[in-house]
Amino acid sequence: MTKASSAVVVGAGIAGLATALRLRARGYEVDVYDPASHPGGKLGVWTSKGYRFDTGPSLFTLPQLVDQTLEESGCNPRDYIRYHRHDSACTYFWEDGTELIASGELDEFCKAAAEKLGSTTERIKEYFSEAQRMYDTTKGVFLEKSLHRWQTYLSKDVLKAIPSLPTLGLFSTLHERNLSFFGQENPKLVQLFDRFATYNGSSPYLTPGIMQMICHLEHNIGTYYPEGGMHAIPQALYRAGKDKGVRFHLGTAVQRILVNGNTAEGVELVDGSVRKADVVVSNVDVRTSYRKLLTDLKTPKNVERQKPSSSAIIFYWGVGKKYPKLDLHNIFFSDDYREEFDCVFEKKQLHHDPTIYINITSRVDPKDAPEGKDNWFVMVNAPADSGQDWEELVKKERGFILSKLSRMLGEDIEQWIETEDVLTPPLIERRTSSQGGALYGSSSNERMAAFFRHANFHSSISNLFFCGGSVHPGGGIPLCLQSASITANLL
Ligand SMILES: Cc1cc2nc3c(=O)[nH]c(=O)nc-3n(C[C@H](O)[C@H](O)[C@H](O)COP(=O)(O)OP(=O)(O)OC[C@H]3O[C@@H](n4cnc5c(N)ncnc54)[C@H](O)[C@@H]3O)c2cc1C
């Protein structure tokens, strides 16, 4: 570049922040716009009565991708973020009283899981080796490069992966794969590994078996907690961006991406002013990008036909008591997992016996709750919004959750709730523009979902790009960071 080229990034979600930082490192003058008053999109914060809650993501895997983003932008990661590996990946509870503390150490986990849930230590280890093989074989193809450029298919990663294709679980569902691995006689083990489908907002009864690789990230690579909470992740990228000269315009929405023929010329802001740019990157949900910001362009068929990932109902409860058996991540399983997913994905309703995830960050950082108390982030799977009566559904579901937890923890929980807020799919959509409040963009409930996801670039507008959870390679913090890397490399 002779004269510095200019780039506009629309949206300061995790992928928008990472893309801005990477473009700045490549010499671009970068402006980022977002209507929200804070950076980070879905990674928000709520505080009340001495309790602090991360409102969005709670599980942090592959922290090295945050470090990589900072390092490749010329920053020392440790000047911006510190994180620690958490000893226990999750504590699991079943209605019949079975409990499992899932150690973050693989050997320990396999031994305890075999003792409590059946099968053998060796068989469970074999399952993880298989998951690792899948991850190692495919990450260079599916996660680190654009799937929509022919050059990708000539890379050595692809050529290496081709012979393994029939063994990558593409032709069975995750549940079928888990069932054939552990057998009907070990339903709790099958359920535990089925759960990893929810890490990208899918159903284990529909998503392909290749999703087995997700458990490798949690147990082989580990789960981490950033000092200061999940919100510290976007804050780190935001601060680094500011230090490197990225210009952030929070509280400023983009109204339109300006396109002239085959060129994106910049953006029009809500006040009608125009910001010209050589490159435009949209971090806004791709369907919303086409419907609201690129109204002169046709929404691609793939984008129209893709189904949203699951959404969630989250209660933020300040709980005036500590339950010693609870840890940072806790799961209370449904007794009928298949019916629960049917309910969410087919009937598009909430289930009366939901699997409940409780995240309690005050177990790691005591400052997040008053002494002797805990901050509960209580989440159940929900369908994306398609016009359901959420007020009624939330009221009913709150009752189901309270009675299940009270039953499983042995006392009335409601009496301890000191402060409360709730997040619903329509609220997620209102706050971040994600279609229907989907957590992870589109679902991976189809075998070829990865190929249907929108590319990180526009097929005919050469300087228009896309990053974030609704485009390649998908949702969740690690994949969003990968999408920023792929997008920046495409430029
Ligand atoms: C409740 C919840 C729990 C989750 N749990 C996890 C988890 O445990 N682990 C994990 O890895 N992932 C989790 N996820 C998913 C993860 O949060 C997302 O995949 C990721 O944060 C999406 O980031 P993104 O960059 O695509 O942008 P988003 O966070 O969706 O942000 C998009 C940004 O675009 C902005 N925007 C919208 N319209 C405009 C406009 N017109 N002009 C300018 N800007 C605009 C929005 O304000 C927003 O800031 C969870 C999500 C939610 C909601």
| Amino acid 162: pLDDT | 64
Distance CA 302, CA 293 (A): 18
pLDDT (average), residues 441-452: 76
| Amino acid 1: pLDDT | 44
| Amino acid 118: pLDDT | 95
Distance CA 103, CA 327 (A): 12
Tell whether the torsion through CA atoms of 355, 401, 43 and 472 is positive or negative. positive
- Looking at the CA of residue 437, tell me the nearest atom of ligand 1: 53
What is the tens place of the pLDDT at every residue in 235-271?
999 999 999 999 999 999 999 999 999 999 999 999 9
Distance CA 396, CA 273 (A): 46
Q: How far is the CA of 97 from the centre of ligand 1 (A)?
A: 36
What is the maximum span of the chain, computed from C-alpha positions, in angstroms? 69
Is residue 11 in contact with ligand 1, taking CB distance under 6 Å?
yes
Can you give the pTM of this predicted structure?
A: 0.95
**Is the domain 6-43+232-305+447-490 a CATH 3.50.50.60 member?**
yes
What is the tens place of the pLDDT at every residue in 33-48?
999 999 999 999 999 9
- Looking at the CA of residue 468, tell me the nearest atom of ligand 1: 26
Is residue 401 in contact with ligand 1, taking CB distance under 6 Å?
no
Q: How far is the CA of 99 from the centre of ligand 1 (A)?
A: 33
What is the tens place of the pLDDT at every residue in 178-233?
999 999 999 999 999 999 999 989 999 999 998 999 998 888 888 999 999 999 99
DSSP 345-359: III-S--SS--EEEE
Is residue 434 in contact with ligand 1, taking CB distance under 6 Å?
yes
Distance CA 426, CA 385 (A): 6
Q: How far is the CA of 26 from the centre of ligand 1 (A)?
A: 25
Residue-range domain boundaries for the chain: 6-43+232-305+447-490, 87-222, 310-383+386-423
Ligand 1 test: best mutation among 432, 454, 482, 487, most atoms within 8 Å of CB? 432
**Containing H/E element for 214?**
helix 214-215
**Whether the bond into 473 is cis, omega within 30 of 0:** yes
- The one-letter amino acid code at 5 reads S
Whether the Cβ atoms of residue 429 and residue 437 lie closer than 8 Å to each other: yes
Ligand 1 test: best mutation among 19, 42, 361, most atoms within 8 Å of CB? 42
Which residue in this structure is represented by tokens 């309270």?
402
Q: How far is the CA of 429 from the centre of ligand 1 (A)?
A: 10
Please compute, for residue 328, the number of CA atoms within 13 A of its CA located in the half-sphere on the CB side.
25
DSSP state of 205: T
What is the tens place of the pLDDT at every residue in 292-336?
999 999 999 989 888 899 999 999 999 999 999 999 999 999 999
Of 8, 18, 22, the closest CA to residue 74 belongs to 22
Of 148, 164, 162, the closest CA to residue 451 belongs to 148
- The one-letter amino acid code at 257 reads I
Q: Where are the alpha helices (DSSP H) in 183-317?
A: 187-194, 214-215, 232-244, 286-288, 301-305
Which residue in this structure is represented by tokens 């940072």?
328
Q: How far is the CA of 142 from the centre of ligand 1 (A)?
A: 21
Reduced to 3 states, what is the DSSP secondary structure of residue 312?
Answer: strand
Reduced to 3 states, what is the DSSP secondary structure of residue 274?
Answer: strand
Q: How far is the CA of 41 from the centre of ligand 1 (A)?
A: 5
Ligand 1 test: best mutation among 284, 427, 471, most atoms within 8 Å of CB? 284
Q: How far is the CA of 17 from the centre of ligand 1 (A)?
A: 11
